[in-house]
């Protein structure tokens, strides 16, 4: 997959089929769009393209609180998931003012000219162009003029409710990891580098990898979770604390740290993936590190048996 970013002057020489969106979380609904995109690209001999913006557009349009702009997947995590889909191109377009101001027709012209689009594959609620004025009907109106086809994909439902990034964010923020994972179609994960912590872990015989997260990454509520950890392409069972370690001090920033079961390596600086499987308990302030250690040992036992 070719990853095009930090430019609005992209070009693809071949004819293409394209899907567009924010794709936050790349959930089951997005997966259906991508499956259709790949099928059509193969049938019609087109290159497959996913077009997304490099930050959630809402961030530039409204001066909202950070909590309302949190994402399920960062750009880097999204790139990692897209990489596995087998698409030909991922375009992560900078969300610049000139693009925000483009009318729907100008947006279509731009796509057709720079990417030779022969097929648009979009969800039924896809909106584009200035003030989100364009939708799939607009795309269809101009299809003859510009020589492309449009396939509209109906949203997948979970019982009565459409599967959406908003739905999944709600479930994650409520701590319903298993529900969020079932809507995502994979396990919610965090990808980042291992940094130095307070070095207390090893003194109690439970070393933990500490990870720094971008401020806009959504996290489940503070607590202890069963996780899977990927180090150097190998998966291990883990047990992860999300929170500010109130037992250690009162002003730790929120972070995530993981004890990896049956693992003994120095991995500072390595990029790891921590996938969340289930909630064990809330984070608590213990009276001593010794009490915390006892609790951590029983958390590890739960994770081992899970
Ligand atoms: C399974 C697990 C459960 C934890 N639970 C709590 C907790 O309830 N309260 C708390 O203050 N810290 C908790 N922590 C964080 C510990 O305080 C932390 O791992 C320890 O201080 C070592 O930190 P260090 O890696 O920075 O040295 C937990 C950590 C793990 C791995
Ligand atoms: N089973 C394990 N789980 C997590 N980290 C481990 C494990 N075994 C060794 N390590 C290493 O130990 C480091 C954590 O030790 P710790 O004393 O908690 O230090 P820190 O506070 O810097 O995280 C990890 O970053 C990792 O390199």
Total domain count, the chain: 2
Domain-located, residue 278: yes
Percent with pLDDT over 90 in the chain:
87
One domain, residues 155 and 10: yes
| Residue at a domain's end among 122, 147, 162 | 162
One domain, residues 15 and 134: yes
Domain-located, residue 284: yes
Q: Burial letters for 207-242: b for 16+ Cβ neighbours within 10 Å, e otherwise? A: bbbbbebeeebbbbebbbbbbbbbbeeeeebbbbbb
264 lines ligand 2 (CB under 6 A): yes
> What contacts 133, CB < 8 A, 6 or more positions away?
103, 104, 127
**CA nearest ligand 2 atom 2, residue:** 260
Beta-carbon count within 10 A of 186 CB: 15
What tens-digit pLDDT sequence spans the chain (306 residues)? 999 999 999 999 999 999 999 999 999 999 999 999 999 999 999 999 999 988 754 455 455 555 667 899 999 999 999 999 999 999 999 988 899 899 999 999 999 999 999 999 999 999 999 999 999 999 999 999 999 999 999 999 999 999 999 999 999 999 999 999 999 999 999 999 999 988 898 999 999 999 988 888 999 999 999 999 999 999 999 999 999 999 999 888 899 999 999 999 999 999 999 999 999 999 999 999 999 999 999 999 999 999
Res 61: pLDDT: 46
One domain, residues 156 and 192: no
**CA nearest ligand 2 atom 12, residue:** 207
Altogether, the residues listed in the chain come to a count of: 306
pLDDT tens profile 163-205: 999 999 999 999 999 999 999 999 999 999 999 988 898 999 9
For a substitution probing ligand 1, which of 209, 221, 225, 247 has the most ligand atoms within 8 Å of its CB? 247
């Amino acid at each position: 997959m070719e990853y095009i970013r930090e430019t609005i002057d992209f070009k693809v020489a071949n004819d293409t089929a394209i899907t567009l969106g924010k794709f936050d979380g790349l959930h089951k609904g997005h997966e259906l769009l991508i499956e259709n995109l790949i099928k059509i690209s193969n049938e019609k001999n087109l290159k497959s393209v996913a077009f997304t913006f490099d930050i959630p557009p809402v961030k530039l349009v409204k001066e909202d609180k950070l909590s309302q702009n949190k994402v399920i997947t960062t750009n880097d995590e999204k790139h990692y998931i897209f990489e596995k889909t087998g698409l030909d191109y991922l375009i992560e377009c900078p969300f610049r003012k000139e693009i925000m101001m483009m009318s729907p027709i100008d947006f279509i012209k731009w796509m057709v000219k720079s990417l030779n689009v022969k097929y648009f594959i979009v969800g039924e609620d896809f909106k584009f162009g200035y003030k989100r004025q364009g939708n799939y009907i607009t795309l269809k109106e101009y299809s003859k003029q510009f020589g492309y086809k449009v396939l509209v994909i109906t949203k997948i439902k979970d019982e009565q409710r459409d599967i959406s990034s908003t739905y999944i964010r709600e479930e994650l923020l409520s701590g319903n990891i298993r529900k969020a994972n079932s809507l995502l179609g994979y396990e919610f994960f965090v990808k980042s580098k291992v940094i130095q912590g307070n070095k207390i872990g090893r003194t109690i015989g439970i070393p933990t990898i500490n990870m720094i997260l971008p401020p806009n990454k959504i996290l489940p509520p503070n607590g202890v979770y069963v996780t899977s950890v990927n180090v150097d392409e190998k998966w291990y069972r883990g047990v992860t604390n999300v929170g500010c370690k109130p037992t250690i001090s009162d002003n730790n920033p929120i972070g995530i740290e993981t004890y990896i079961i049956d693992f003994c390596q120095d991995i500072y600086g390595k990029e790891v993936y921590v996938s969340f499987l289930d909630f064990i308990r809330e984070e608590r302030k213990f009276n001593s590190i010794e009490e915390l250690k006892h609790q951590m040992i029983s958390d590890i036992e739960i994770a081992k048996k899970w």
